Amino acid sequence: MSADNAFLHLLKTRRSVVVRDMGPDGPDAVQLHNILSAGLRVPDHGKLGPWRFIVFEGENRRQFGGVLEAAYLASGMPDEDERRQFERERFLRAPVVVAVISVVTPDSKIPEWEQVLSSGAVCQNMLLAATSMGFAAQWLTEWYAYDPMVTQALRLGATERVAGFMYFGSVATPPRERVRPELEDRVSRWRPEL
């Protein structure tokens, strides 16, 4: 298979590996640098670089778990021991977690929507880079991406939001294919009205 066909094959077959199916081996410093660098190679109208990264590795994942547990309890959700433990250990499920932060420049001539889309493209590039290197990868935005206590602990500015938490590990359980929409159901061709 040619390099072009191999890349197209990757694009057409990429699957997220859910965090619960990840193994303990994640990208080393050089590999993570490559994944993050690939994230930067996205369309960026106006050259604003409307994104940044927060990396969680090693013991810092456990320490941030205390933030997640406290935020969970403060949100008014049920105080159950099993759920508290899950939140405490949430970032321990993968060896590396990267928060991709969308950084909007409100007074720019570049529309806010385009800046936000660029941060989504960063997340997708990171998924593709990790997958191409043989790693498991999943992009998540669950309750904690929107929680004010969590965003405060991340030290987000007034125009910053979590675009996603990217989990990277090894493939312990290969992902199964899931139902995808039929291309014909999603494509139309514009024609002028007669």
Listed by start position, the domains of the chain span: 18-56+94-173
Give the orientation angle of helix 112-132 with respect to helix 29-39, to 10 degrees.
140
Topology, domain 18-56+94-173? NADH Oxidase (3.40.109)
Distance CA 160, CA 2 (A): 41
Burial of 5 (0-12, 13-18, 19+ CB in 10 A): exposed
Task: Number of helices (H) and strands (E) in the chain: give both, helices first.
Answer: 7, 5
The helix (H) or strand (E) run that includes residue 37 is helix 29-39
Instruction: Give residue 194's pLDDT.
Output: 82
Q: Could you list the beta-strand ranges (E) of 58-107.
A: 96-103
pTM for the whole structure:
0.93
8 A C-beta contact, residue 135 and residue 27: yes
8 A C-beta contact, residue 48 and residue 115: yes
* DSSP assigned state of 78: -
pLDDT tens digits in sequence order for the chain, 194 residues long = 676 698 898 889 888 999 999 999 999 999 999 999 999 999 999 999 999 999 999 999 999 999 999 999 999 888 888 999 999 999 999 999 999 999 999 999 999 999 999 999 999 999 999 999 999 999 999 999 999 999 999 999 999 999 999 999 999 888 888 888 999 999 999 999 98
Q: How far from 35 is each of 69, 86, 187, CA to CA, in Å?
A: 29, 27, 32
